[in-house]
Amino acid sequence: MKTSQAELLHASSVPVAGAVRATQVRWRIFLILLLLAAINYIDRASLSVAMPLISAEFQMTPALEGLMLSAFFWSYALMQIPAGLLLDRFNARGIVGVATIGWGAFQALGAIATGWTGLLITRIGLGVAESPIMPSGAKLNGNWLTANERGRGATLVDGGAPLGTALGAIITTALIATFGSWRLAFVIAGVGTMVVGAWAWWYIRNQPADHPGVNQAELDHIKAGNVIAKAANGPKSKMRDLVRSRSVLAMFAGYACYNAVFYGLMTWMPSYLHQAHGFDLKSMGGATFLIFMCGFIGEIIGGALADKWKAAGGAPNKVMRSMFSGAALMAALCILGTAYATNATLVVCLLCVALFFIRWCGMYWCLPAILGGKSRSGVLGGAMNFWGNMSGVLVPILIGLIVQYTGSYFLALIFFVAMAIGLMLFSGLIDYRETEQ
């Protein structure tokens, strides 16, 4: 009888009695990547928190404030594909170290700005320096994890977004309140980022065989999971074929829809809670923390469920299409309910559930390794993040126009519903079977 790929992968993950226990270096690396991604979002949020103080000091107009807030996203998005190419050409470890130390330096340099122009330059630099971090996660996902571990690896990296968003405002506000200066807060955040970057460079390795902490059992586990997946597929894909494939195009579109919902809620939800439901600053901050922490918890749970299902023999297409489509549909229904809800407590509960489920789609970060293999995972991850962040640049502007011209948030919430449905549809067009490495 012919043995399926799923059965082979499952068999490779079953420990043999009396065997040496495998080390867990790969998961420590992805916990470090989670920390880096969270710091990434904390540093992004620092300007928004400090903007009232900065605007008063530099006598900035609202238009200049908008330019300052958008500067990071433009440089970050435009550098995604070049960052991915660099990752495929060189190595993730060195680029992660340089990038993290670089963005910490730009964060700290913002403290010595004497006007809005100098601060703008540091924000552009911050976007450039942060650009390789998420594609690096995709690259290391392909190098370090088996097919049955990619979901957890992807959600650990992407989970830094809701975690950093939840913690960013609290940490930055606490630093400003403690030291009485946004400049000192920027310096502390920047130096702390540089220290973590140096630690990440010291611990991370590009390949499992290069890491002194990996024992033979862990190395055999990683090799077995990837050799079986590789043997089950056809020849290695060329880049020109990848960018024209239905799966890759659907991945780009689905991730753009996913980020449209997340970035839209991240940027406009506090204002929505304040203006539509009368939340004061304290209750608004507490609700934002709760909603995005639910997103983080949901993301970790979603990745674990997907990997467990695949390890139990679930076909990759059945598992991933069910997880993505079901999560997107649940988020769409909850946001639709939010549009009609009048009770503030119910609104917060619905948004908590919506973020819990839609963050399952953080598993999109395992797709570059699945669709492009090790050789193309960096550039595919960069291209996917480019489209996702262009959505993040444009959607907040679009929501602002909708609210300004309609005088309410109803159509803005319906737009998020439409994007969640788009995420559901595009996710159903992707082939989630492993590609030749």
pLDDT digits (tens, 9 = 90+) for 118-159: 999 998 999 899 888 888 887 888 888 888 888 888 888 888
With residue 299 as reference, give the H or E element that holds it: helix 281-311
15 inside domain: no
13 inside domain: no
| Lowest pLDDT segment from 186-190, 235-239, 258-262, 311-315 | 235-239
Average pLDDT in the 152-171 region? 84
176, 49 contact by CB (below 8 A): yes
Tens digits of residue pLDDT in 201-231: 999 998 999 999 999 998 988 888 765 444 4
72, 126 contact by CB (below 8 A): yes
11 inside domain: no
127, 73 contact by CB (below 8 A): yes
The domain containing residue 47 runs over which residues? Answer: 23-427
Residue 291 predicted with pLDDT over 70: yes
Torsion of CA 352, 355, 360, 361, to 10 degrees: 170
DSSP 93-113: HHHHHHHHHHHHHHHHHGGG-
295 inside domain: yes
277 inside domain: yes
Torsion of CA 406, 409, 412, 418, to 10 degrees: -120
Taking the C-alpha atoms of residue 351 and residue 337, their distance in angstroms, rounded to an integer, is: 9
Residue 191 predicted with pLDDT over 60: yes
**CATH code where residue 283 lies:** 1.20.1250.20
Residue 187 predicted with pLDDT over 80: yes
Average pLDDT in the 22-37 region? 91
29 inside domain: yes
Residue 327 predicted with pLDDT over 80: yes
Token code pair at residue 388:
């996702």
Domain total for the chain?
Answer: 1
| Lowest pLDDT segment from 25-29, 145-149, 181-185, 224-228 | 224-228
Residue 285 predicted with pLDDT over 80: no
**CB neighbour class for 360 (10 Å; exposed up to 12, middle 13-18, buried from 19):** buried
**CB neighbour class for 99 (10 Å; exposed up to 12, middle 13-18, buried from 19):** buried
7 inside domain: no
Average pLDDT in the 8-34 region? 72
434 inside domain: no
* pLDDT score at 334: 97
Tens digits of residue pLDDT in 381-416: 888 888 888 887 788 788 888 888 888 889 999 999
- Nearest-Å Rg of the Cα atoms of the chain is 22
* pLDDT score at 201: 93
